[in-house]
Amino acid sequence: MSSLFRSTAIVAALFAGVASLAGAAIAQDKVITHAQGETTISGVPAKVLTQDWAVFDNLDALGVAVAGVPSSNAPSYLADKIPADALQIGSLFEPDFEGIAAAEADIYFVAARSAAAFETSKDIVPTVDLSVNNTAFISGIEHNITLLGEIFDLQDKAGELNAALDAKVAEVTAAAEGKGTALVLVTNAGKLGVYGPDSRVAWVYNEIGMPSALDSVKDGDHGGDAVSFEFLLEVNPDWVFVVDRDAGTGENAGAAAALLDNELFNQTNAAQNGHIVYLDPQASYISMHGYQGVMLLLDQVLAGLNG
């Protein structure tokens, strides 16, 4: 083979390789459809930021490393999963946009409390909003797990997680059958409220299928639909699931149990039969749309129903 022929062949091979690599890079571009539209990303993101603990929960469940996290309200069940060198990128409601820009990340996730940041952050870094509709709670979490699996090429792992969640929901649903009515109570600074089928713990009613002891509930953002002990005795639920908001926000752990140690409440069917389940306050209030958090809560409900 002549040297000229060899040189020509080498050059042709190099051009073919470059063309192949360029084609692969173009093929890796993905258009992600999310709660606030579409976002294009290039390849598999390497440096990841999130302003939401539920999203961090989901990323951790998939085994995705996170470089930047909120600077406040970390749920205790996630505490040992947060990298020691993680960037602090602002609170759940107030992102540090300068810090986010300086991080030069490949992708930034917002959701729920931080969703309003999207309009600003989308011009800084590719941003995806993973907010979940509470009326389709479990399917919303599974949708996000599936979407994250596609973003990070972890489709098989995402499928395994969703199958496990489906199985857990089916197990709890079977345990709840015929157990009577339920109320999800939220205690907040000495006040009582009820969470209903549009709330951050809506899955108790909508997916597990426990009928609400109340026909109509007007959910508040924080404290639920305000009720009195007299009203609770009148409604007389068979089961009560408690969210201690004070403990969830790190203010006063144990406040819910003290508040519910009440003469009227102790006359309800739930109290008389020991059917009171205290839910993990941070998983149910701070990171309510997180995969690991909802699995934790489902296990708590299951243990209560089978106890």
What are 259-303's pLDDT values in tens digits?
999 999 999 999 999 999 999 999 999 999 999 999 999 999 999
Domains of the chain: 29-153 (3.40.50.1980), 176-306 (3.40.50.1980)
DSSP structural state of residue 67: S
What integer pLDDT is reported at residue 214 of this predicted model?
Answer: 86
Nearest 10 degrees: Cα torsion 142, 128, 199, 245: 110
Looking at per-residue pLDDT, the higher value among 24 and 227 belongs to: 227
Q: In what order do the strands lie in the sheet with 48-50?
A: 87-88, 68-69, 48-50, 107-110, 127-129
Averaged pLDDT for residues 71-97: 96
Looking at per-residue pLDDT, the higher value among 9 and 292 belongs to: 292
What integer pLDDT is reported at residue 250 of this predicted model?
Answer: 67
What integer pLDDT is reported at residue 28 of this predicted model?
Answer: 82
β-pairing, 239-244 with 87-88?
unpaired
Cβ–Cβ under 8 Å, residues 128 and 31:
no
What integer pLDDT is reported at residue 198 of this predicted model?
Answer: 84
DSSP structural state of residue 186: E
DSSP structural state of residue 46: S
Contacts of 246 (CB under 8 A, 6+ apart): 187, 188, 189, 252, 253, 255, 256, 281
* Helices of type H across 87-189: 97-103, 118-121, 137-151, 155-176
What are 238-265's pLDDT values in tens digits?
999 999 988 887 676 678 999 999 999 9
What integer pLDDT is reported at residue 5 of this predicted model?
Answer: 44
Cβ–Cβ under 8 Å, residues 291 and 158:
no
CB contact burial 80-119 (16+ within 10 A = b; e otherwise) = ebbeeebbebbebeebbbeebeebebbbbbbbbbbbebbe
* Helices of type H across 104-136: 118-121
β-pairing, 276-278 with 107-110?
unpaired
Distances (CA, A) of 81 to 46, 74, 240: 18, 10, 31
**Tokens 């060198």 belong to residue:** 85
CA–chain centroid gap for 235, Å, is: 31
Q: How far apart are CA 197 and CA 172, in angstroms?
A: 17
- With 0.95 as the threshold, say if the pTM is over it: no
Averaged pLDDT for residues 42-61: 98
Looking at per-residue pLDDT, the higher value among 150 and 200 belongs to: 150
Q: How far apart are CA 139 and CA 162, in angstroms?
A: 9
Question: What SS3 class is residue 132?
Answer: coil
